[in-house]
A and B are shown apart, each in its own frame.
Chain A
């Protein structure tokens, strides 16, 4: 036997982050569902005075899901996977244990203050970077703590070679660190003006077109390094573990990783097609977005082919189902993205509901499914309990898949309808519709989207219940399962 099997991994911090993943998942998705209904039925804007209008809640939804749910998920899995692939327990290092706990609690404080300030309308307006400067500094501290955890654990590792997942965690850390720092460069006005006005107010270091350029260089690549890279880190560990199959190809892993690192940032320009940034940047954004298919599909194919010869597991295990559907949605979304980046398609789709549709087939399908699968896989191993219900998991899978399909299909139709109506002219070249005509036309699709979102949220509650029951009334396991997670019918 391998001597490392005797290591007792310490999952304290992983458990903390697992709970915050679930908590912020519920909060973020519930707000998302509410704002989806608000678009279809505007009276829902007045549930809590000025604090519950669509415009106030929208940044709360995006930040809650991206930085609450997804990042918590990435950290929960880091504090689980990190120890296991580096063959070292956090219990061996009181320092790293302290850092891990500090990381969690500082993050929780940050999130609470972030929610309060966003509710209060304190915002810099930059998408996914709305927090004002004092909070930005706390974000940086939280991020540094995670960095200490990553490189600290790597420093005391027993396994010499870094497993693929670790590559991706390092990339998430470095990528977001760079992007966040540069995009949030701002000058607090209180200090320059000698103490006038609100102390927390700031203005961006960049103006106009430059600000847009830096913002979308950040915004696009927050997608890269949270939604994509962080989640690939998870699937490269959990799919082989759950299925008992080795990764299909090391060479393909290498190609996909370094390709993704190189290409992803170039593609940010596709958010600014037909804007006032220089034309060559728009073209670069467009071209590199198409090149991006190669490394993206490289990872996805590598993951799917890992199941080669073992496809019957897909029928037997809902957990494998979640992971494979996640990868399929990843392929789907990374094909849709490049299509949207083609200039003529972008001219039609930009500013329409196709864009939220595209984001959500990626986030609900790929990120959401993979994060939940990861948490399901970790539960029996961290709590030494059998998963509570397989049939509940099956039902959840189908309810959420239906939700996603309703979501993206309705938003495609809505988006294309909008785009076509905005540009439609009569025989004399006059615009055929007023703006409000185009709003009226898509209300039915807003209803369908909201119902889709609601189904996904219901599925998330089923997931929460299943995990809760597993921990508190699942059958105790004597030893850790080697591959497939045990689950009661």
Chain B
């Protein structure tokens, strides 16, 4: 059979494909619907949090920080309750990471404050003296992309039936409503920050990347 396949490239290619694809069909497909079921207490990200999540992605924070707590005592002691599937139902994409050069962030909202994040992002060694993390000062200058975040939330609502605007869930609303919501959420964070430029910018109606990122990190619980 094999020598026949080696003379018939078409059937050879078909055979290779079937043999390769088989594992995917058996392993990946069966659990799909189950894994996507959200935890009951889980709410979709707000627009500001999504904008912050995008900053996290753009800077590839996931290259050094995981967001997956494994079910070991050493990890639950260090980071909090271990991760369960239903927590990630609104994570598009997932951000588990594959390497911990820095600590896990899955529940960083429980034990770090806005103030701490602000210092840490501006100069990591000011809060962790031997930190090898680079400073992300440009986040204090660049504007958060709220419009794309809104488009992203809307897409999740329309295409994937993520329960925005459902009773008891996160409110999305129209673009104008969403902007007002973002402003209110940002205001609470800016009030706890000390950077004068970020504050001044917010007075002008501008929301910097750092504000969105902190909103996202605070939401990780």
A contacts, CB < 8 Å to B: 38-40, 42, 45-46, 49-50, 53-56, 58-59, 121-127, 130, 151, 154, 160-162, 167, 170-171, 174-175, 178, 182, 187, 189-190, 192-193, 196-198, 201, 203-204, 206-215, 217, 254, 258, 261-262, 264-266, 268-269, 271, 274-278, 281, 284, 347, 350-353, 355-356, 418, 422-425, 429-431, 435-436, 439-440, 443
> CB of B78 within 8 A of chain A?
yes
Decide: B20 and A55 in contact? CB cutoff 8 A: no
B contacts, CB < 8 Å to A: 2-3, 6-7, 9, 12-13, 16-17, 19-24, 27-28, 31-32, 34-36, 54, 57-64, 66, 68, 70-75, 77-78, 83-85, 87-103, 128, 130-136, 138, 145, 147-152, 154-156, 158-160, 175
Interface centre among B22, B93, B98 (most CB of A within 10 A): B93
Contact partners of B89 in chain A: CB under 8 A: 207-208
Contact partners of A196 in chain B: CB under 8 A: 147-148, 150-151, 154, 175
Decide: A56 and B12 in contact? CB cutoff 8 A: no
Partner of B62, one of A125, A192, A431: A125
Using A125-B60, A347-B70 as known contacts, say yes or no to A262 and B19 having CB atoms under 8 A apart. yes
Decide: A122 and B58 in contact? CB cutoff 8 A: yes
Decide: B12 and A162 in contact? CB cutoff 8 A: yes
Decide: B155 and A193 in contact? CB cutoff 8 A: yes
Partner of B94, one of A211, A261, A435: A211
Partner of B145, one of A45, A46, A50, A198: A198
Contact partners of B73 in chain A: CB under 8 A: 429
Decide: B60 and A193 in contact? CB cutoff 8 A: no
A207–B154 alpha-carbon span in the complex (Å):
15
Contact partners of A254 in chain B: CB under 8 A: 2
Decide: B20 and A125 in contact? CB cutoff 8 A: no
Partner of A211, one of B63, B91, B130: B91
Contact partners of A39 in chain B: CB under 8 A: 101, 132
Nearest residue (CB) in B for A263 is B23
Decide: B58 and A192 in contact? CB cutoff 8 A: no
Decide: B94 and A265 in contact? CB cutoff 8 A: no
Partner of B9, one of A59, A124, A151, A439: A151
Using A58-B60, A197-B150 as known contacts, say yes or no to A212 and B9 having CB atoms under 8 A apart. no
Q: What is the distance, in angstroms, from A63's C-beta to the closest C-beta of chain B?
A: 12
Q: What is the distance, in angstroms, from A453's C-beta to the closest C-beta of chain B?
A: 16
Contact partners of A121 in chain B: CB under 8 A: 58-60
Decide: A204 and B27 in contact? CB cutoff 8 A: no
Q: What is the distance, in angstroms, from B176's C-beta to the closest C-beta of chain A?
A: 13
Decide: A56 and B28 in contact? CB cutoff 8 A: no
Q: What is the distance, in angstroms, from A401's C-beta to the closest C-beta of chain B?
A: 26
Decide: B9 and A170 in contact? CB cutoff 8 A: yes
Partner of A212, one of B7, B77, B94, B138: B94
Decide: B154 and A55 in contact? CB cutoff 8 A: no
Q: What is the distance, in angstroms, from B16's C-beta to the closest C-beta of chain A?
A: 5
A–B Cβ pairs within 8 angstroms, 11 of them: A50-B136, A55-B64, A203-B92, A208-B85, A262-B22, A262-B23, A266-B23, A277-B85, A425-B74, A435-B78, A439-B102
Contact partners of B61 in chain A: CB under 8 A: 55
Partner of B88, one of A192, A269, A276: A276
A214–B29 alpha-carbon span in the complex (Å):
10
Decide: A439 and B152 in contact? CB cutoff 8 A: no
Decide: A436 and B130 in contact? CB cutoff 8 A: yes
A212–B136 alpha-carbon span in the complex (Å):
27
Decide: B74 and A423 in contact? CB cutoff 8 A: yes
A122–B158 alpha-carbon span in the complex (Å):
24
Partner of A125, one of B17, B93, B103, B156: B93
Q: What is the distance, in angstroms, from A278's C-beta to the closest C-beta of chain B?
A: 5
Using A170-B13, A425-B74 as known contacts, say yes or no to A277 and B35 having CB atoms under 8 A apart. yes
Decide: B92 and A211 in contact? CB cutoff 8 A: yes
